[in-house]
Amino acid sequence: MSNLFDIGDLRITFDTKRGPLKAVRGVTLSIAKGESVGIVGESGSGKTVMSRASMGLLRGRRVKREGSVKLNGVELLTMTAKEIRELWGKQIAMVFQDPMTALNPVRRVGPQMAEALVKRMGMTKEAADARVLELLALVRLPEPDKQVVKYPHQLSGGMRQRVMIAMAIACEPEILFADEPTTALDVTVQAQVLELMGDLRQRLGMAMVIITHDLGVVATHTDKIAVMYGGEVVEIAPTKELFANMRHPYTEALMKSIPRLDRAPGERMPAIAGTPPDPVADRVGCAFAPRCAYATDKCHKEHPELTDAGNGHAYRCFFPLGGK
């Protein structure tokens, strides 16, 4: 498989009153054509900033961007706003967590979707209207012809998310970023939306990046998973390998904190004590060391590099768990 999308040593720094905020501190990640990748981490781990920067959404005087983001070998970071806008929708698209704020609240769903098709694909208005119905049927929205005349607030959360997905795939992008696509939804609807996204990916042959705080969400429907902490990838592996053979203590802690149906009721939840590291502060040792149950002096003093364990599995830890 050739690489569709290449992120190379990406660093994003925001200029803030408190000083430079290093949200992403050197992330390298490649995504093959049609591949599905999960990016997992807590709030503040840099997962959203990384994905938005990859989309070319973060720009301006107060954002310092280093490294590279290449789509089909073409560098995105140096593009002008106008150049990158040409790629949005057609090659690269995004679904956001909160469909209510991502949709225009004062326009009906149908015209809102059709507008994008007219502008991006050069369709006639009639062709665009027909395509909207097709797309809504594709995302299994019940009775599309009745939904297009509604305003976003008249739809349920799950239906709005389906509309968002339909809009994102309207121009058949090669890669779709989904930032916490199911977090605001009920579990039942979450299951429906995940099923749908997995199904669409196969049908359209697009690559997909699912960003989430919940390892359970990406256990199915992904080929590989990158775990982020403090702006870095701390572990990356093919999905099955990661769940079978977790090496980083943070990954393990995240896994243990998921509420599960097979745990005894009333049993104390293994929470991760402490809070994520301050993104402004300078860092010496391992980012996770202050919260890590296994940390030693070395972890507080030296910064671990990403160690390749073969089979596409790499981790950033001096004292990895398990090991064969």
Q: Which residues bind another protein (CB under 8 A)?
A: 42-43, 142, 156-159, 183, 186-192, 194-195, 213-217, 219-220, 239-240, 243-244, 253-255, 257-261, 263-273, 275
Look up residue 274 and give its DSSP letter: S
Instruction: Report whether 228 contacts 41 (CB < 8 A).
Output: yes
* Residue 60 CA, distance from chain mean position: 22
Least spacing, CB of residue 79 vs another protein, in Å: 33
Q: Which is nearer to another protein, 93 or 237 (CB)?
A: 237
Q: Would you give the distance in Å from CA 93 to the centre of its chain?
A: 12
Nearest approach in angstroms of CB 292 to another protein is: 13
Q: Residue written as tokens 């995105």?
A: 76
Q: Which is nearer to another protein, 1 or 273 (CB)?
A: 273
Judged by beta carbon, residue 86 or residue 186, the one nearer another protein is: 186
Minimum distance, C-beta of residue 254 to another protein, in the bound complex (Å): 6
Contact 163, 99 (CB under 8 A): yes
Q: Which two tokens stand for residue 266?
A: 């009333």
Count of CB atoms situated within 10 Å of the CB of 73: 9
Which is nearer to another protein, 1 or 187 (by Cβ)?
A: 187
* Cβ at position 296, least distance to another protein in Å: 23
Specify whether the CB–CB gap between 73 and 307 falls below 8 A: no
The nearer residue to another protein, 106 or 187, going by C-beta atoms, is 187
Tell me the C-alpha distance between 145 and 235, whole Å.
46
**Cβ contact 236:226 at 8 Å:** yes
Q: How far is the CB of 48 from another protein (least distance, A)?
A: 12
Residue 111 CB neighbour total at 10 angstroms: 16
Complex with another protein: residue 67 or 238, whichever CB lies closer: 238
Torsion of CA 232, 236, 242, 248, to 10 degrees: -40
Closest CB to another protein among residues 124, 220? 220
**In the complex, least distance from residue 119 CB atom to another protein, rounded to whole angstroms:** 31
Closest approach of another protein to the CB of residue 171, in Å: 28
* Number of helices (H), then strands (E), in the chain: 12, 12
What distance in Å separates the CA atoms of residue 14 and residue 20, rounded to the nearest whole number? 6
